[in-house]
Amino acid sequence: MSAIPGDVDADRQPPMTVPLRHFLVASAFLPLGAVAGVAAVTDFRLGLLSLAHAHLLLVGWVCLTIAGAMTQFVPVWSGVDLHSTRLPAVQLPLIAGGLVGFAASLLAGRLAFLPVFGAAMLLGFWLFVYNIGRTLARARPFDRTERHFALALGFFALATLLGLLLAVGFTRPAVLPVARPAVVGAHATLAVFGAVLTTVLGALYQLGTMFTQTELHGIDVPLGRFEELGYPVGVLLLAGGRLVESATIARAGGVLVALALLAFAVVLARRLWETQVERTPMLSRYAVVAAASAIWAALALPAWLAEPLARSALLGRPGVSHLLLLGVVGFVVLGTVYHVVPFVVWVHRYSDRLGYEPVPMVDDLYDERLAAADFWCLLAGTALLVADGLLDLPSAVSAVGGVAVLAGTLLFVVNVAGVVREHAPQSLFAVLFGSWAATNSADASPSVEND
């Protein structure tokens, strides 16, 4: 595989510290969420543990990774400068600090503090939405990836607003316009299927073709059109139906969401089948994503046809949420980070040396043995958790699965941090805690607007 894809504009990327700090902070939340997950499956009781576990993984790991990835690749893919390189320096501590306080309040049962920390997270996400939205506005006409990202930004804004209402509603129930379970259902739908999965689908249209060196053709074209039209409509109907407690509306939305993800699973599987490049950690994990998406959609469709408003069917068939959150979302994030972090480091450390001295490839920067080990740990752990959800196996099975997932996440974090420590122009400490402004002044394009 080439060191850097030939059809992206690396000169448009923001300073190295901007995305890397997001990725490293997000990676720190991954093992925290996994530990909370192990505690949850072993019936450890500490405040609202399950809610803290979900937010640590989805907000801390997944959404912070998305924020870093969009900040890095929207300028690169779209060929425009990032609107502001200073706003990410504000959004990151707001989201991360707000989440730490939010999770601690949930675990300690101090629910009165939730609105404060929830407001911090909302402000951080809205700064992210504003910055990327202003950046995307310069890229016209939108391609398929950019259209998905624009929709995802809207879902981020709506999901976080409902999330703040729920945080306030813990102590002031009257603030909620409808019953709390209805708001929870709409919030979870907009967050997981709207913000997260819409971003995932948009990114995979770009990455799935770029890194398999294939193009959409044949049945891929109508399936892609169906997904692009049906999926966002389905998310809005599913979320709206749950908010107003209309099973008919939610059922129609659920059918569209499941069928659209099934269509996309076929497109991704065909790209992987036709690839002519060697296997990489990214492509191995995308193969899991294609299989998990198809299986999840096949299980979710009858569940949502029967009871689309049921709390147990919030993320599809009861008991298989790990198939969606780990098998689809988790493996996409893991596979993508295995390229993004080495890519960012490689461009800043080695790109100027290419042709003058021997330089490593992008895929040479991480440890292949650690990547293989974390893949099998995470795959085995996910399989055990899904099997337990489907078959109601002894509790020891879910505990072993949780430990395997935790081991895989730790190996992943060590590998990614090692890339930065060994190859980045700055030290790991400087990337995390150094002056963002100093990095900006050295690397930022003079055309970038700094808010």
Give the model's pLDDT for residue 14: 67
For residues 232 and 226, what is the distance between their CA atoms, to the nearest angstrom?
Answer: 10
Instruction: Give the closest residue to 163 by CA, choosing from 131, 124, 213.
Output: 124
Amino acid letter for position 273: W
Instruction: Check the CA dihedral 223-226-227-228 and report its sign.
Output: positive
Q: At what angle do helices 220-243 and 180-188 cross, to 10 degrees?
A: 160
Q: Which residues pair with 357 in a beta bridge?
A: 354
For residues 292 and 322, what is the distance between their CA atoms, to the nearest angstrom?
Answer: 10
CB contact at 8 A, 223 and 263: yes
Give the tens place of pLDDT for each residue, 243-260: 999 999 999 999 999 999
For residues 280 and 286, what is the distance between their CA atoms, to the nearest angstrom?
Answer: 10
Residue 185, CB-side half-sphere exposure with 13 Å CA sphere: 28
- Going by the DSSP 8-state scheme, the letter that residue 363 receives in this structure is G
What's the CA angle centered on 129, arms 97 and 201, to 5 degrees? 105
Give the model's pLDDT for residue 12: 57
Q: Domain coordinates of the chain in residue numbers?
A: 14-140, 144-319, 335-351+359-426
Give the model's pLDDT for residue 354: 75
Low-confidence ranges of the chain (pLDDT < 70): 1-14, 429, 433-451
Q: Coil, strand, or helix at residue 357? A: strand
Percent of the residues in the chain that have a pLDDT greater than 90, as a whole number: 54
CB contact at 8 A, 89 and 70: no
Give the model's pLDDT for residue 357: 80
Q: What's the token pair of residue 357?
A: 């001295």
In 10 A of CB 174, how many CB atoms? 7
CB contact at 8 A, 240 and 257: no
Q: Coil, strand, or helix at residue 81? A: coil
CB contact at 8 A, 108 and 237: no
For residues 159 and 161, what is the distance between their CA atoms, to the nearest angstrom?
Answer: 5
pTM more than 0.85: yes
Give the model's pLDDT for residue 266: 96
Give the tens place of pLDDT for each residue, 267-310: 999 999 998 888 888 888 999 999 999 999 999 999 999 999 99
